[in-house]
Amino acid sequence: MDGPVEVAPGIWQVREELSAEVPLFLHVVVGRRGAALVDGGLPASLPAVERLLDGAAVARGPGTTGRPLRWLLNTHAHHDHIGTFGPLRRRTGAVVVAAPGAVGWLEDLDLNLREFALHRPDIIPDSPELRAELAPTYGEPCPVDVAMTGGGSVRLGGPTVLEAVELPGHVTAELGWLERSTRTLLLGDAVTGTSWSFFHGHVLPAAYRRSLHRLRELVREEDVRMVCLSHYPARSGTEFLDLLDIVEAYLDDVTATVEGALSDTPTGLATVWHRTCAAMDRAEEFRGLAMIAAHLDEAVAAGRARLVGPDHYVAVRSTG
Ligand SMILES: [Zn+2]
């Protein structure tokens, strides 16, 4: 556990470990009139969030002092980004902001769990073991006060403004937050982990590719100096561009591996999933399954594969 540290003027970060291979970085942005927490970690992240707010001199409820916590800004509604929003909203009256497409998952955790982890019970059964593993990562649902689309902004006083940028791909609805006065970009999982023992996952491969391109343009056009991410250490704009190269190559690798698992013989989704996990040495779990199903859908849409029965695909060989 590190920090909290001030990674850019008025932008504080704390690190905790979700597992031996997956860190989680939490951020608060402090302006003259108040502060905004960007993502809330897991329910169990509350002590880390409190340390972060204390370190940044932000009040975290009755009996504490500092700048008021006015905003709870969500990047996306995965369980490790929303877990403390409920209690913090109750304690501080902070306004919860999320992408319109994330509202359902924040406000209905059963819907969130079903669509995130239990989306294919015919392939990954809805078992007591899976439920038990995920239960502690789901806290209480949190009402969303403002559904914000790209270009919307949150003013924290003085020059400190956070502007929402739409970055779908990892999930269908994700926002990044650009703080122009410090040229800092705060991201959730708009850039995914590429080297974990399981697939971090993305459910819209083509949109993910466009979002990576958008990020590249944004860093150049806005001269972004610092990029803060949920699962990577903060880095300079230049170092972030290098990371984008790695992630784009990874996305090419996933695409080639999924589509390489197809042949002239009909192959089922579960088989493509097994083959892709084996070829890339990843554990078989629900995130990877959703990602692979999405790649197959897009291969069909692009004419590189054909659906020949429920969940069964053949490769379409390019001619000439
Ligand atoms: Zn995520």
Q: Determine the distance separating the centroid of ligand 1 and the alpha carbon of 76, expressed in angstroms.
A: 7
Per cent of the chain over pLDDT 70 is 99
Which CATH superfamily groups domain 2-251? Ribonuclease Z/Hydroxyacylglutathione hydrolase-like (3.60.15.10)
Q: Determine the distance separating the centroid of ligand 1 and the alpha carbon of 102, expressed in angstroms.
A: 11
- List, for residues 54-70, the tens digit of each pLDDT value: 999 999 988 899 999 99
* Mean of per-residue pLDDT scores for the chain: 97
Q: Determine the distance separating the centroid of ligand 1 and the alpha carbon of 63, expressed in angstroms.
A: 33
pLDDT at res. 319: 66
Domain 260-315 architecture: Orthogonal Bundle (1.10)
At 129, is the secondary structure helix, strand, or coil?
A: helix
The first and second tokens of residue 239, run together, are 């170092």
- Whether the model pTM is above 0.75: yes
Q: Determine the distance separating the centroid of ligand 1 and the alpha carbon of 238, expressed in angstroms.
A: 24
Q: Determine the distance separating the centroid of ligand 1 and the alpha carbon of 170, expressed in angstroms.
A: 7
Helices vs. strands in the chain: H and E counts, helices first: 9, 16
Residue 201 has pLDDT above 80, yes or no: yes
Average pLDDT on 176-191 reads 98
Q: Are 92 and 75 in contact (CB under 8 A)?
A: no
pLDDT at res. 318: 74
Average pLDDT on 64-77 reads 96
Residue 189 has pLDDT above 60, yes or no: yes
Q: Determine the distance separating the centroid of ligand 1 and the alpha carbon of 314, expressed in angstroms.
A: 30
Burial class for 319, CB neighbours closer than 10 Å (0-12, 13-18, 19+): exposed
Q: Determine the distance separating the centroid of ligand 1 and the alpha carbon of 231, expressed in angstroms.
A: 9
Q: Determine the distance separating the centroid of ligand 1 and the alpha carbon of 302, expressed in angstroms.
A: 26
Q: Determine the distance separating the centroid of ligand 1 and the alpha carbon of 222, expressed in angstroms.
A: 25
Q: Are 120 and 130 in contact (CB under 8 A)?
A: no
pLDDT at res. 2: 64
Average pLDDT on 176-182 reads 97
pLDDT at res. 105: 98
Q: Determine the distance separating the centroid of ligand 1 and the alpha carbon of 65, expressed in angstroms.
A: 32
Burial class for 297, CB neighbours closer than 10 Å (0-12, 13-18, 19+): middle
C-alpha torsion 244→247→249→254, nearest 10: -160
Residue 3 has pLDDT above 80, yes or no: no
Reported confidence tier of residue 248, pLDDT bands at 50, 70, 90: very high
Where in the chain are the domains?
Answer: 2-251, 260-315
Q: Determine the distance separating the centroid of ligand 1 and the alpha carbon of 78, expressed in angstroms.
A: 5
98: left (phi over 0), alpha (psi -120 to 50) or beta: beta
Q: Determine the distance separating the centroid of ligand 1 and the alpha carbon of 70, expressed in angstroms.
A: 24
